[in-house]
Amino acid sequence: MPDATQQTKHEVPKEDRLLTPSPPSEETLREASVADIVDALITIRNPRGWNFHGQEIDRHGRIIQLVQHLLSARNQTPRPFIYECMMDAMVAPQGSVRGIRKLLDDMASQNIKPTAAMCHSALAALTNHPDYALRQEILDTMSDFWFTVDTRVKEAVALGLLRDEQYELAYARLTEMIEQGAGIEIWVLDVFIMVFGKLGFVDEMMSLLYRRKSLLGEDKAISSILYYALDVCSSAFHYPGTLFTWSSAVRSSLFQPADGIVENVLATAARHGDASLATEALDMMSKRTRVLAYHYEAVAEAFAQAGDVAGAFRILCIMKKNGIRVVRGNTRVVYEALRRHPRLASDAEMALRTMAHDQHLPVAVVGVVVEALAETQGSEAAMNLYRDVPHLCGEHANSTMMQTLLINSPDEETTRSLARDYTTHMAEDDDPVRGSHVYGALVIKCAQAGELGLAFRFAYQAMAGMAVASSETRQLDWVKVLVTKAAEVEDGRIWGVVDELRKDEETGALVQRLLRQTRITKRATGLRE
């Protein structure tokens, strides 16, 4: 049975025996002529790479093996071709700046003049093993010997600067080549695109991607590059880049992005008010997974940012139809749009009334318009919409909506009407937890309108919140108003509030001063008995 060496001899053509994936044996090297070895080196040095029937070989190791055999076993003297080969070997990851420098020094010591090919290989090696000073030395040598500095050389310099983390200079060199109409290799643009994307230089990345796509259109690598760019742009909320890559790849069915990327596209569209893009992203997500509240909210934000509050309301209604409860927090994006552009409020109210012809609306959706109207124009402007809530929603207004109307009520008559509505329809357990400033405003409004029952209700809720609030954040303006109004009608419930406030030394001192100022201490004593 023939051994492995004999089998290789029979299977591999003679001219390819030096190029197999496994290093050639000493016997194979001895059997090869010098011309065969030189031809093999020329083949391996091909800048576009060499493979043996699709199998990669160790270019660095093979070049060194063949060169060493020529020098030691065949008594070949060092010549420019040998140094060119060795410089090509330095391009590999196993090469080094030290190796490049040693080759140059050896050539100088033997009075061997550099060649253009050797300089090109040295610059290529310096793209992987950056050294600014050595790169400049090579360029100076090329200038001294009048070697042509062509596009490939300029590419190597730009890539070397990129690897040396001199990003602005590298980008400047590359864009200069582009402006000069140089025939830049596509893979060079791809390297810059990938590096700039990783570094977060999204504008620069997209500028190069536009150029790349205009040069080549569709190719094997473009799908991966566009996928990467879509991921980078959507993660950075970079709207122009997200829209370009989505339009170029997703709308043309070049690929289907992962769920995480689709979510980022949705968020980017929401932030920049692109309702069409947001809707596409939501539709894609709905076909893959369960759509959650924040997904709908993002699409609503996109409509709101674009000034289409009716579109935002439609999305929130779809959210309700799909079994997700719409709460006040889901409407904040619409609220912000209505506050930024008060003129939209009338359009929003009209949109609500139109939509209610076909379906009951979520209370929170009507509530956001009521809230915006009350805060920008006063509660009177929102009262008609408030009174129509049962018709529009099939249920009564919620406590948050009514509290907003109370706080922004323009007169005591409206306040009293709202307070009585609130007491009738809202159990204490339905009261939402609010901040101290909201409780303070509610107590003051109700007390000033003479609705002390509701004022005390909010006062006790305010005091419950004070137990966990720092002294700096406590709002106690309401105490003076409530004490004064209670004293006017001799309402003994004030002492429950006073006693609770006195449990805190600092607050108790404030209350004591208020009691003295209102001169009710003695008169109110009788109210406690």
pLDDT of 275-331, one tens digit each?
A: 999 999 999 999 999 999 999 999 999 999 999 999 999 999 999 999 999 999 999
Mean pLDDT confidence for 514-527: 57
- 22 to each of 9, 19, 72, 404, how far by Cα in Å? 13, 8, 21, 80
CA atoms within 13 A on the CB side of 30: 3
- At residue 513, the pLDDT reads 76
Within 8 A by CB and 6+ apart from 514, the residues are: 479, 480, 483
Q: Which residue shows structure tokens 């610059």?
A: 123
The pLDDT-based confidence of 360 (bands split at 50, 70, 90) is: very high
How far is 187 from 221, CA to CA, in rounded Å?
9
Instruction: Output the six-digit token pair for 455.
Output: 């004022």
CB contact at 8 A, 362 and 317:
yes
Residue 37 CB neighbour total at 10 angstroms:
21
CA atoms within 13 A on the CB side of 303: 22
- At residue 49, the pLDDT reads 58
The residue among 524, 458, 453, 467 whose CA lies nearest residue 500 is 467
The residue among 470, 520, 451, 527 whose CA lies nearest residue 496 is 527
Mean pLDDT confidence for 9-21: 66
Instruction: Output the six-digit token pair for 195.
Output: 């590096």
Task: Determine what percent of the chain is predicted with pLDDT higher than 70.
Answer: 91
- Residues 195-211 have pLDDT tens digits of 999 999 999 999 999 99
Backbone phi and psi for residue 395, each to the nearest 5 degrees, phi listed first: -155, 165
51's enclosing H/E stretch is strand 51-52
- At residue 522, the pLDDT reads 45
Residue 52, SS3?
Answer: strand
DSSP assignment, residue 109?
Answer: H
- At residue 6, the pLDDT reads 46
- Residues 215-261 have pLDDT tens digits of 766 677 889 999 999 999 999 999 999 999 999 999 999 999 999 99
- 47 to each of 35, 86, 219, how far by Cα in Å? 20, 14, 21
3-state secondary structure 170-234: HHHHHHHHHHCCCCCCHHHHHHHHHHHHHHCCHHHHHHHHHHHHHHHCCCCCHHHHHHHHHHHHH
CB contact at 8 A, 293 and 330:
yes
- The separation between the first and the last C-alpha atoms of the chain, rounded to the nearest angstrom, is 119
Mean pLDDT confidence for 354-376: 95
How far is 371 from 401, CA to CA, in rounded Å?
7
Mean pLDDT confidence for 172-180: 93
- Residues 41-82 have pLDDT tens digits of 888 887 565 666 667 778 888 888 888 888 888 888 889 999
The pLDDT-based confidence of 405 (bands split at 50, 70, 90) is: very high
Instruction: Output the six-digit token pair for 20.
Output: 């197999």
The pLDDT-based confidence of 8 (bands split at 50, 70, 90) is: very low
CB contact at 8 A, 495 and 529:
no
Evaluate the CA torsion angle 364, 365, 368, 370 in order and state its sign: negative
Within 8 A by CB and 6+ apart from 6, the residues are: none
Secondary structure percentages of the chain, helix, strand, coil, to 5: 70, 0, 30
pLDDT at 516 over 60: yes
pLDDT at 470 over 60: no
pLDDT at 506 over 80: no
- At residue 520, the pLDDT reads 56
